[in-house]
């Protein structure tokens, strides 16, 4: 028997959270059985736990879009019992049962070997949010943006994606401007390595003209909406924005002028179906390019029973840094 957080369909399209003891036979099919040490809470988990976004098709369902743990049984050639692994994406926690349980059975093709330098706790302090930050940094670098290019703007900076992005960029030598709506997060962001704090209000309104003063060589944007539209008008010549999130809205009302006159590029970042080779590079780079002392400052420890209220908090932008859910 193992413990799990289960979602059940309730009346009126709502979902009900129950804490249950399950038998291994209840787990879905898959060629690797993993004993889960830790999971985490992402914005998407908040949506799933609240029954929003139509992300889950069938109930009962075990949410949790990522987990780290140890292989217990394997029919996959790349994994054997005792291997430490991390999983995120592939619609685990949405279409497939996820990490909010002490055991998970999944396809071995979805698993990434955990770099030796990281513990399973650190892997989930990083989680999908942190791994996506790394994918964003890699995209900006592949576009030729280096520390000499100019400052990098990070929006939604005190959130999960933003916090890890600030810490990685600062470690790599970039000057980082952090956008936050929480004045009380300024010291936290400066400590992670931000050299400039930009108040959310400064960038919240839609742009009034197609081009503004050139300010940013790059941007990692977790917010979307009118903030992204505004940021596009402020990009330096040949700058690039990694579009990661929609915490402020999914619409994008812009003009093509920044693309045509300044050669600005908008780089889409998808963590979910990202090919395995790129994932492995991202996890390896997290082990070297993310300062682990800074990661420790972002961590908030939680258990399964904390998740119902934390789900509401993350959807309201009230969670700071990264929540690590202990399944041991």
Look-up: residue for tokens 């003891």?
21
- Report the residue from 108, 113, 115, 181 that binds ligand NDP according to the rule CB under 6 A: 181
- Report the residue from 152, 314, 324, 325 that binds ligand NDP according to the rule CB under 6 A: 314
C-beta of 71 vs 135, nearer to ligand NDP: 135
Write down the least CB distance from residue 208 to ligand NDP, Å. Answer: 18
Omega before 246 cis (within 30°)?
Answer: no
Number of alpha helices (DSSP H) and beta strands (DSSP E) in the chain = 10, 15
Q: Does 55 bind ligand NDP (CB under 6 A)?
A: no
Label residue 207 exposed, middle or buried (CB < 10 Å: 0-12, 13-18, 19+). buried
Task: Give the interface segment with ligand NDP, choosing from 113-121, 138-146, 160-168, 212-220 (CB under 6 A).
Answer: 160-168
Q: Does 165 bind ligand NDP (CB under 6 A)?
A: no
Which residue in 228, 235, 273, 272 sits closest to 254, CA to CA? Answer: 228
Q: Does 49 bind ligand NDP (CB under 6 A)?
A: no
- Report the residue from 63, 150, 156, 193 that binds ligand NDP according to the rule CB under 6 A: 156
Q: Does 319 bind ligand NDP (CB under 6 A)?
A: yes
C-beta of 72 vs 315, nearer to ligand NDP: 315
Q: Does 185 bind ligand NDP (CB under 6 A)?
A: yes
Helix (H) or strand (E) holding 16: strand 15-22
Count of residues that interact with ligand NDP, criterion CB under 6 A: 33
For residues 234 and 214, the answer to whether their CB atoms sit within 8 Å is yes
Q: In this chain, which residue has its C-beta nearest to ligand NDP?
A: 159
Residues 6 or more apart whose Cβ sits within 8 Å of residue 231: 153, 155, 203, 216, 219, 221, 241
Query: What Cα–Cα distance (Å) separates residue 322 from each residue in 9, 21, 45, 97, 121?
Result: 28, 27, 13, 22, 11
**Which residue ranges make up the site for ligand NDP (CB under 6 A)?**
42-44, 128-129, 132, 156-162, 180-182, 185, 200, 222-223, 227, 244-248, 269-272, 314, 317, 319
């Amino acid at each position: 028997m193992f413990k799990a957080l289960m979602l059940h369909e309730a009346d009126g399209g709502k979902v009900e959270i129950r804490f249950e003891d399950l038998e291994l036979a209840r787990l879905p099919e898959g060629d690797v059985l993993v004993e889960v040490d830790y999971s985490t809470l992402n914005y998407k988990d908040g949506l799933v736990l609240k029954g929003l976004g139509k992300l889950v098709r069938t109930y009962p369902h075990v949410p949790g879009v990522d987990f780290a743990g140890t292989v217990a049984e394997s029919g996959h050639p790349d994994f054997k019992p005792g291997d430490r692994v991390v999983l995120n994406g592939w619609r685990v926690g949405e279409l497939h049962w996820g990490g909010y349980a002490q055991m998970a059975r999944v396809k071995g093709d979805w698993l990434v070997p955990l770099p030796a330098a990281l513990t399973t706790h650190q892997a989930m302090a990083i989680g999908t949010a942190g791994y996506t930050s790394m994918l964003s940094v890699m995209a900006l670098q592949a576009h030729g943006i280096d520390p000499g290019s100019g400052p990098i703007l990070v929006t939604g900076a005190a959130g999960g994606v933003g916090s890890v992005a600030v810490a990685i960029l600062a470690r790599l030598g970039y000057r980082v401007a952090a956008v936050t709506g929480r004045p009380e997060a300024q010291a936290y962001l400066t400590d992670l390595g931000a050299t400039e704090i930009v108040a959310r209000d400064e960038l919240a309104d839609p742009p009034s003209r197609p081009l503004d003063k050139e300010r940013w060589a790059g941007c990692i944007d977790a917010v979307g909406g009118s903030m992204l539209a505004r940021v596009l008008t402020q990009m330096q010549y040949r700058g690039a924005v990694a579009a990661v999130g929609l915490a402020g809205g999914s619409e994008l009302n812009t003009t093509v002028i920044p693309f045509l006159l300044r050669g600005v590029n908008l780089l889409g970042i998808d963590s979910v179906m990202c090919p395995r080779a790129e994932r492995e590079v991202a996890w390896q780079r997290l082990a070297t390019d993310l300062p682990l002392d800074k990661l420790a400052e972002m961590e908030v420890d939680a258990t399964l029973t904390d998740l119902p209220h934390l789900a509401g908090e993350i959807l309201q932008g009230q969670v700071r840094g990264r929540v690590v859910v202990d399944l041991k």
